[in-house]
Amino acid sequence: MSYPLTRDQHLELYYYMKLNRMLDEQLVRLFRQNKVVGGLYSNLGQEATSVGTAYALEKRDWIAPMIRNVGGLLVKGYKPADILMQYMARYDSPTKGKDGTSHFGDLKGRHVVSPISMLGDLVPVMTGVAIAGRYLGQNIVTMTWVGDGATSTGAFHEGLNFAATQHAPLVLVVENNQWAYSTPVAKQVPIHDLADRAKAYGIPSAIVDGNDVVAVYQATKEAVDRCRAGKGPVLIEAKTMRMKGHAQHDPAEYVPKKMFEYWEARDPIVRYEKYLTENNLWDEKTKSDFVARIEKELNDALEVAEKSPFPPPELAEQGVYCDGCHTIEAEWKRSKKEAMPPQSSVKPEWEVTDFGGFDLASTMAKQSAAAGANGGNGAKSARTVAAAQKSTGKSNGRPEKLKVAARVPFGRGPKGKEGRK
């Protein structure tokens, strides 16, 4: 591993994934008892992606989850009672019963931006958060998730282009769970790997086995470290599977039965349990202790949730607009002088290295010759540009590739071959 994990960290990854799975199962039971207000969107089969990506972040970093990223919320510090009360529309929920699913956030403590229902719209939002953090000297990384279908939205492409041109410290996780509601990936896009979307914006990408929590963590940690070092955004495609319909009302009859069987054999939690056993990281008692601990936590959380009242009717007209309800103030982590003139002043002229020409070498050679004839330094300028291209790796127009160890290959490989190494 490029980023070794301790035994405690391995077990903590299991705890979050198992908690995510058992909480999901508890919500299904509550939905069938008519205790969930609104829709219920299952995380089943995608726990490794949410948990593994969020686990690679630091406390100061920001996330913007979507409906299947409950695992990321748990890693960020939310408790099962918060999730239960949110789905049950109780007064003590994060939104006081005004909204459902994962539509809540915490800008001060946990650094969570509430989801936006229009898929893809969080990409430009989190790019903005990333740029603001850099301006304030916070050295943060932002992360958001999108599904395979969201990569076909305008906001996704505009946001990714914005992030790339601004070198924003953004990790964009594409959860390729094979279905955009009832539309398979092959009917949405003309490419097999959604990570190829990054090529159009000159940024690196990685493809990872989204059902392998350790591989997900490793790929994301590399991406996070790259972003924090100021090297710009990274797109990660996690290949996984949505093991239920779009929501509880959807039986997913459009999914081939053999496809479910294929992915069920690659269940992320079962696989990780086997990994922990084979690497002598736990025993049966440790496993049973985890299950007992989580069962107690969920039972206690449900008791708290059911004791919480529904919101009073008069609350509906409160908090719709902010009227002095909170203070918005920048959290500076560096001297403001660095961001203001004269220290922030720059020359009012852009540096354009290749002048937009087809043949950079020819253009610079002509300029060098002309400058040389006039006793100028054109030759030095040409060498400077060539050296800059070599150092950035952009002379061939190809974005840098990340080294990623996706231990279990999936799907159709290059030239129609099965698997990918």
Catalytic entry in 14, 242, 271, 272: 242
Catalytic entry in 181, 254, 334, 412: 254
67 C-beta neighbours (distance < 10 Å), count: 21
124 C-beta neighbours (distance < 10 Å), count: 20
H-assigned helices in 3-112: 7-32, 47-55, 70-75, 80-87
117: its two tokens? 């229902």
Catalytic entry in 246, 266, 275, 420: 246
Q: What is the dihedral of CA 357, 360, 365, 370, to 10 degrees?
A: 30
- Work out the angle at residue 203's Cα, subtended by the Cα atoms of residues 72 and 201, and round it to the nearest 5 degrees: 110
- Which helix or strand (DSSP H or E) is residue 22 part of? helix 7-32
Pairwise CA distance, residues 276 & 50, whole Å: 19
Task: Residue 13: name the closest of 231, 212, 283 by CA.
Answer: 212
**Catalytic annotation on 254?**
yes
**Catalytic annotation on 246?**
yes
3-class DSSP state of 191:
coil
**Catalytic annotation on 242?**
yes
15 C-beta neighbours (distance < 10 Å), count: 15
Could you give the residue numbers annotated as active site?
A: 242, 246, 254
